[in-house]
């Protein structure tokens, strides 16, 4: 994938006379010692990472870890003390005022924790606001704003005031306002942390649905490890201004880089993190619908299995056959398509283990992992699910 954002050695220090502090950081002094001796606060220390186009990149950490400071560097609300930030190959740290204004209006948008709505404007007027600042004609901006309200499931609420809405609905307005400018990049600073747990889960699912349609590049901040692992294609874990580890949720969960990460993920519910694609096996024991039953029987005998998935020439799943049915069919001069069974379970690559457990208990055959076009990607046996839980 193409790199959308490249962060190189970014450090952010708050305070005066910060050049000596940079040197102390380079010499390995810690955040607390620097604060005590200089009065300067190290928000971010030498952060480097790439964000790929179209991915959800989550920055996770406890309060004071530097995650919110870091995300504000990405649109220069916090100007880095040192380091570079490239967006589409341009170093935004070098932008002048006009370039920065254009960047903020057209390429990047931010969704805040506490909604940031204008209380005396209607829902529609709030969503229109960024377009209004850009002097987009009224009819055009109304049309765009209505489309965005529909995208976040708020059609029919356009004439209401923010105070008439629940917290979750207000955050949807904030999201619609950010999307109205059609930014390439969406920065989300703990946007769901002020919501109650049920609405928070709904907003997480809504965001995933919207992302599946719009394919934005999203940098998402959270202190909640479950939220981070649910939303993130990759996750960066921060502590004391430093990035400790970057990886997919599965990589961080199964290969923590140090004891801090181990403690951080110890209580995570693995069934809500590990997905079908992480535990499936790419089975080579398959048979084409064009091949004969004798080939299928030999395949099952050689692999020591009693059932076999059948695919077409494009590897699209046609069904499953059993050894008993195949042997009987040879005697009766039948073909593979005559004995296809369809009483098996399927899953998409992104299905979580928690949604596979009941299927695994009931299944007579392995679970088939298929894509949107019904192409067989792999199979999951019961032992794979059990091993994914530990």
**Rounded (10°) CA dihedral 96, 100, 101, 102:** 110
All CATH 3.40.50.300 domain ranges in the chain, comma separated: 53-77+94-270
Confidence at residue 299, expressed as pLDDT on a 0 to 100 scale: 92
Low-confidence ranges of the chain (pLDDT < 50): none
Confidence at residue 388, expressed as pLDDT on a 0 to 100 scale: 58
- Looking at domain 53-77+94-270, which of 3.40.1190.20, 3.90.180.10, 3.40.50.300, 3.90.76.10 is its CATH number? 3.40.50.300
Closest CA to 339 of 353, 350, 326, 348: 326
For the chain, the first-to-last Cα distance in angstroms comes to: 31
Confidence at residue 361, expressed as pLDDT on a 0 to 100 scale: 87
DSSP state of 176: H
Confidence at residue 312, expressed as pLDDT on a 0 to 100 scale: 92
All CATH 3.10.580.10 domain ranges in the chain, comma separated: 277-388
Cα separation, 228 vs 358, whole angstroms: 25
Confidence at residue 72, expressed as pLDDT on a 0 to 100 scale: 96
Confidence at residue 291, expressed as pLDDT on a 0 to 100 scale: 87
Closest CA to 212 of 340, 58, 56, 363: 56
State the CB neighbour count (10 A cutoff) for residue 373: 9
Closest CA to 274 of 298, 249, 256: 249
CATH number of the domain located at residue range(s) 277-388 in this protein: 3.10.580.10
Confidence at residue 301, expressed as pLDDT on a 0 to 100 scale: 93
């Amino acid at each position: 994938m193409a790199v959308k954002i490249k962060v190189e050695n970014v450090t952010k220090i708050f305070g005066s006379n910060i050049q000596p502090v940079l040197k102390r950081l380079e010499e390995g002094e810690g955040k607390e010692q620097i604060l005590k001796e200089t009065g300067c606060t190290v928000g971010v220390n030498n952060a480097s990472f790439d964000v790929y186009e179209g991915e959800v990149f989550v920055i996770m950490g406890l309060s004071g870890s530097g995650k919110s400071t870091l995300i504000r560097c990405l649109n220069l609300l916090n100007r880095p003390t040192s380091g570079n930030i490239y967006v589409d190959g341009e170093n935004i740290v070098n932008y002048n005022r006009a370039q920065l204004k254009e960047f903020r209006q057209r390429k990047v948008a931010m969704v805040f924790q506490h909604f940031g709505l204008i209380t005396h404007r209607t829902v529609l007027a709030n969503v229109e606001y960024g377009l209004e600042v850009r002097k987009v004609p009224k009819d055009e901006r109304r049309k765009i704003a209505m489309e965005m309200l529909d995208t976040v499931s708020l059609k029919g609420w356009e004439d209401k005031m923010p105070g008439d809405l629940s917290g979750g609905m207000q955050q949807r307005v904030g999201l619609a306002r950010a999307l109205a400018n059609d930014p390439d990049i969406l920065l989300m600073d703990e946007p769901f942390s002020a919501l109650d747990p049920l609405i928070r889960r709904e907003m997480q699912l809504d965001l995933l649905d919207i992302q599946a349609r719009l394919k934005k590049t999203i940098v998402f901040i959270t202190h909640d490890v479950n939220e981070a692992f649910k939303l993130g294609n990759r996750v960066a874990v921060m502590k004391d201004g430093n990035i400790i580890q970057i990886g997919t949720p599965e990589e961080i969960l199964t290969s923590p880089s140090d004891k801090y990460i181990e403690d951080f993920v110890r209580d995570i519910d693995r069934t809500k993190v590990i997905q079908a694609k992480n535990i499936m096996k790419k089975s080579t024991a398959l048979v084409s619908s064009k091949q004969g039953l004798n080939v299928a029987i030999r395949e099952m005998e050689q692999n020591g299995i009693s059932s076999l998935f059948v695919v077409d020439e494009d590897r699209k799943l046609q069904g499953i056959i059993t050894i008993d049915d195949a042997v009987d069919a040879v005697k009766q001069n039948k073909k593979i398509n005559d004995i296809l069974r369809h009483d098996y379970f399927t899953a998409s690559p992104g299905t979580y283990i928690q949604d596979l457990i009941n299927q695994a208990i009931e299944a007579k055959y392995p679970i088939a992992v298929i894509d949107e076009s019904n192409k067989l990607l792999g199979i999951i046996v019961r032992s794979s699910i059990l091993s994914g839980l530990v």
